[in-house]
Amino acid sequence: MPARSVAVVTLGCTRNEVDSEELAGRLAAEGWTLVDDAAQADVAVVNTCGFVEQAKKDSIDALLEANDLKRTGRTQKVVAVGCMAERYGEQLAAELPEADAVLGFDSYADMSGHLRRVLAGERPASHVPRDRRSLLPLAPAARGAAGAGVALPGHQQAARQEPGTPLADVTPPTGPRVVRARLDGRPWAPLKIASGCDRRCAFCAIPMFRGAFVSRRPEEILAEARWLGEQGVREVFLVSENTTSYGKDLGDLRLVDRLLPELAATPGIERVRVSYLQPAEVRPDLLDAMASTPGIAPYFDISFQHASGPLLRRMRRFGDRVSFLGLLDDVRRRLPEAGVRTNVIVGFPGETEDDLAELTAFLEAARLDVVGVFGYSDEDGTEAEGYDGKLDEATIASRVAAVSALVEELTAQRAEERVGTVVEVLVEGVEDPDDPRLVGRAGQQGPDVDGVTYLEDEHGGMPSLRPGELVQARVVASEGVDLVAVPLVGTVDRV
């Protein structure tokens, strides 16, 4: 077959980024040329997000933009994959005929074949959605053998191909194989440790289209971490739908505690960041492991969602303002300098003024570094979609604006509290060529959605540092949630 080119366009979260890089690795192994610009590709594969209304809109816009390239660029075909394609399948195909194919997760193993058939003029049957929770046993311990035939994007399942198949030789024939291609040159990379979720939060549709919770085995995670280290990655960002559940289907909930030191000792990897902790599942042992293991970022991404006990029960969650503040105290007793981020939902059905006051009281006391504020919207198929007590859009928008303004003030104050402290910064590069500043992230700052740290020398100039270098720096100022820091002499960790 003649060489064909493909661009993978990624929407949504870091979990989707892992899936895109695995897809890219599969395609590269089967002879496809990977290009960054969709206008220069024969096929544009759009990895969609189906989480909330705005993300779905962004995904549709990206598909339409890619379709426009058929008139102005090299692009011949546009294919939708990812969460929105998995979640809506046939409906998306019917409402968006601009997409030449809508493929679900089960298509990933033969993505090359699907794309070649699409280029040949075929229009494959669109994905038929189903509740992916039904594909695996209800009991987590029974999922190991049963999961062999279930598609789990980002789990490197293609690494088990038999010798002689195209994917078998993507890495050396001895030892674990990694089917992944880096799509950017960043010095950090997400690393998927699990997929799916067993929780039944009333507002969330993710378990329906991502399926039941499945942990990756430690040896697979460590093999991929070693590969990332060989690619120049200095920080791995552990991602899943629920990291605090890791290991429960492998018979050991403390497995992550032992995995962290091994990851931190991986050649080339200097920092490991943990994401998405469920407050009701955070164990003291996990906090101990995160706080005491050298190389683990002092970063706690805890999904509180609200702070009113009664409203959280209505959300099918646990906790309240007092227990959440107690958890934060437990974190800070171990790591006083810890960074903490969370998301909250405002305007959930039945939310009263008292509930809202409980949330704002929590935010004022919690000293959080970053808070994502989301207004509630109905999600297809969720329990909350059928709830009474819905608030009108104007009320939700007003509450979101008020909480967002409060959060902006509080997180700026939290950043200001860090002035005078020493932080470890991973240098990422120069931001804005028109007004160049060297930018990186302190250990307390997660990628993409949190603040950044601007690095300056003692005279306000730009230090001579390269992306991927780790440096100890003293915080000298704050700009909103962002920090400004001066590297300490002799602390640069050269790559």
Q: Report the alpha-carbon distance of residue 355 to residue 359 in Å, rounded.
A: 6
71 Cβ contact list (under 8 Å, min separation 6): none
- Please state the residue numbers annotated as binding site: 13, 49, 83, 197, 201, 204
135 Cβ contact list (under 8 Å, min separation 6): 150, 211, 212
- Please state the residue numbers annotated as binding site for [4Fe-4S] cluster: 13, 49, 83, 197, 201, 204
Beta bridge partners of 239: 192
Q: Report the alpha-carbon distance of residue 222 to residue 52 in Å, rounded.
A: 32
Structure tokens belonging to residue 104: 């679900």
8 Å CB contact between 321 and 307: yes
239 Cβ contact list (under 8 Å, min separation 6): 13, 14, 15, 18, 190, 191, 192, 193, 275, 276
Angle subtended by helix axes 284-292 and 321-334, to nearest 10: 30
Q: Which of 200, 239, 233, 185 is nearest to 216 (CA)?
A: 239
Residue 51, CA atoms < 13 Å, CB-side half-sphere: 13
Give the 3-state secondary structure of residue 47.
strand
8 Å CB contact between 126 and 95: no
Q: Report the alpha-carbon distance of residue 72 to residue 219 in Å, rounded.
A: 46
Q: Which of 152, 157, 221, 153 is nearest to 189 (CA)?
A: 221
Structure tokens belonging to residue 485: 């820091």
Q: Report the alpha-carbon distance of residue 382 to residue 202 in Å, rounded.
A: 6
DSSP-assigned letter for residue 277:
B
Strands 422-431, 470-479: parallel, antiparallel or unpaired by DSSP? antiparallel
Q: Report the alpha-carbon distance of residue 279 to residue 317 in Å, rounded.
A: 10
Please report which residue ranges of 111-171 form alpha helices under DSSP H. Answer: 111-119, 143-146
Q: Report the alpha-carbon distance of residue 294 to residue 301 in Å, rounded.
A: 18
Q: Which of 473, 483, 477 is nearest to 451 (CA)?
A: 483
Beta bridge partners of 270: none
Size (the chain), residues:
495
Q: Which of 303, 344, 338, 353 is nearest to 443 (CA)?
A: 338
Q: Report the alpha-carbon distance of residue 413 to residue 131 in Å, rounded.
A: 44
Helix (H) / strand (E) containing 314: helix 309-314
